[in-house]
């Protein structure tokens, strides 16, 4: 795979990882909302299950965020290593 093609794929992966982080953030907010609502409800079943779920989702969010940050660095290094940050000549320019 050519470096430009690989960079395009890496860009796509970064967007998808960002989507995962955003989804996990939304999920964590929903679980926290359920926990808050259950304070008024006082359901013992939910009281026993929701904190574990919150912890699991939070751990997944932390892992996804770390993966995204690490991959962004790999992406940046790839751009530098393959000189993809340099301006490309125009299609008609052969200099």
The domain spans of the chain are 3-81
Res 95: pLDDT: 44
**How far are the Cα atoms of 9, 10, 12, 86 from residue 63, in angstroms, in the given order?**
21, 19, 19, 33
| pTM, entire model | 0.82
CB atoms under 10 Å from CB of 34, counted, come to: 15
Cα within 13 Å of Cα(58), Cβ side: 9
* Separation of CA 73 from chain center: 13
pLDDT in tens, 22-69: 999 999 999 999 999 999 999 999 999 999 999 999 999 999 999 999
**pLDDT attached to residue 91:** 55
**pLDDT score at 86:** 80
Q: In the predicted model, what is the mean pLDDT of residues 64-77? A: 99
SS (H, E, C) 43-77: CHHHHHHHHHHHHHHHHHHHHHHHHHHHHHHHHHH
């Amino acid at each position: 795979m050519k470096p430009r093609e690989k960079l395009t794929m890496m860009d796509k992966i970064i967007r998808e990882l960002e989507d995962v982080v955003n989804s996990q953030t939304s999920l964590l907010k929903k679980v926290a909302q359920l926990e808050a609502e259950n304070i008024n409800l006082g359901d013992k079943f939910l009281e026993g299950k929701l904190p574990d779920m919150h912890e699991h989702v939070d751990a997944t969010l932390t892992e996804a965020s770390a993966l995204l940050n690490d991959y962004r660095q790999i992406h940046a290094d790839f751009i530098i290593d393959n000189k993809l940050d340099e301006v490309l000549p125009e299609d008609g320019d052969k200099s």
